[in-house]
Homo-oligomer: A and B are copies of this chain.
Amino acid sequence: MSLKALAINCTLKASPAPSSCELLISQVTAALEQHGVSCEIVRAVDHNIKPGVMSDEGEGDDWPRIREKILAADILLLGTPIWLGHPSSVCQRVLERLDAFLGETDEAGRMISYDRVAGVVVVGNEDGAHHVSAELFQGLNDVGFTLPASAVTYWVGEAMQGTDYKDLPEIPEKTAQTTKTLAANCVHLARILRADRYPAS
């Protein structure tokens, strides 16, 4: 049985503006596809994800459809730019909506998100990738996701410089290798968790 991945790009820029985060995410999904995973990328800011911490915040809320895609996937990739050293406001909005999983259980009494794997993608001009991945690892783990070894790929430039990942002359080799490892580990862990699920609560 083939795996599915959903990637959420938490850039502040609506489509069709180019996004460094989209670029790095697409490199992860390309690597996932080489493992036979079918992938979809959602740009969160294109949707009306209402403020709140429930799975449905009422009229006009686009979250319920995104939530369905997350639950239909084996792998969630959460990608964000870095602003002031933090995950973007759009990314924190996504985490807040995922917070509802804390109160939703499956037929085995486990959090509804269990057995799903999460990977993290972080891009910035300079500085912040480790902290942003810490915030996302903890947020995603709190709401039930499992994190594979080497669960993040990232790029940031030298301190206080302004180049974008999308404007680099070529993909930095270390980021390319990290991207490949992230994809391989997500696939491995998602496969074995699908075959052998966490115990009932």
Q: Which residues of B contact A63 (CB under 8 A)?
A: none
> A95 — which chain B residues lie within 8 A by C-beta?
83-84, 86, 89
Complex: how many Å from CA A93 to CA B87? 10
Q: How far is the CA of A97 from the CA of B162 in the complex (A)?
A: 18
A196 adjacent to B201 (CB under 8 Å): no
CB-defined contacts of A141 to chain B, threshold 8 Å: 133, 137, 147, 149-152
Smallest beta-carbon distance A201→chain B, Å: 7
| Residues A159 and B146 in contact in the complex (CB < 8 Å), given A84-B99, A92-B89, A96-B84 | no
The closest CB in chain B to the CB of A165 belongs to B159
A199 to B137 Cα, complex, angstroms? 22
A156 is contacted by which of B87, B126, B144 (Cβ under 8 Å)?
A: B126
Query: Nearest chain-B residue to A143 (Cβ)?
Result: B84
- CB–CB A92/B87 < 8 A: yes
Residues of A bordering B, CB below 8 Å: 12-14, 45, 51-53, 83-90, 92-93, 95-96, 99, 111, 113-115, 126-131, 133-135, 137-139, 141-152, 154-161, 172, 174-175, 178, 181, 184-185, 188-189, 192-193, 195-196, 198-199, 201
